[in-house]
């Protein structure tokens, strides 16, 4: 269930999560290898934080109206599937799949957020 009460709030939350996650991964030079096989407690904690962020992201994407998701290429059905795996797998999460979302889906998600805001006449950045 989304914590945001409006479609615009959900879109802004999704955008903010992606931007912040990307920046922190870049700033800490966190790698796929460190995410998948954390060599120490600090990396494990960082990886868990990223998993939590992706869970929040998928929560918000899954709460976006179907028409909005389709119009702006926000894959809400895929997000729901990933969200269910993260929320209910209890340690059985395939971190490679999550990293794949970060590497391959974040750009499309950002573009969808920007397109939605453009249609609404709102600046997102």
What pLDDT score does 58 carry? Answer: 86
As for how many domains the chain has, the answer is: 1
DSSP-derived letter for residue 65 is -
pTM assigned to the model? 0.86
- The answer to whether residue 1 sits within a structural domain is no
- The answer to whether residue 43 sits within a structural domain is yes
CA distance 51 to 89: 12
- The answer to whether residue 33 sits within a structural domain is yes
- The answer to whether residue 24 sits within a structural domain is yes
Domain carrying residue 81: 7-120
- The answer to whether residue 125 sits within a structural domain is no
CA distance 121 to 25: 31
Mean pLDDT, 10 residues at a time, the chain of 125 residues: 77 95 97 97 96 89 88 70 60 82 89 94 87
- The answer to whether residue 105 sits within a structural domain is yes
């Amino acid at each position: 269930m989304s914590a945001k009460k409006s479609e615009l709030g959900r879109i802004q939350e999704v955008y903010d999560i992606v931007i912040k996650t990307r920046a922190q991964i870049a700033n800490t030079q966190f790698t796929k290898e460190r995410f998948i096989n954390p060599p120490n407690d600090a990396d494990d904690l960082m990886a868990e934080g990223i998993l939590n962020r992706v869970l929040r992201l998928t929560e918000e994407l899954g709460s976006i109206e179907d028409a909005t998701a389709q119009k702006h290429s926000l894959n809400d059905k895929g997000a729901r599937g990933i969200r269910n795996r993260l929320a209910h797998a209890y340690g059985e999460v395939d971190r490679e799949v999550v990293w794949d979302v970060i590497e391959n889906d974040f750009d499309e998600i950002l573009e969808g957020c920007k397109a939605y805001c453009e249609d609404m006449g709102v600046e997102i950045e």
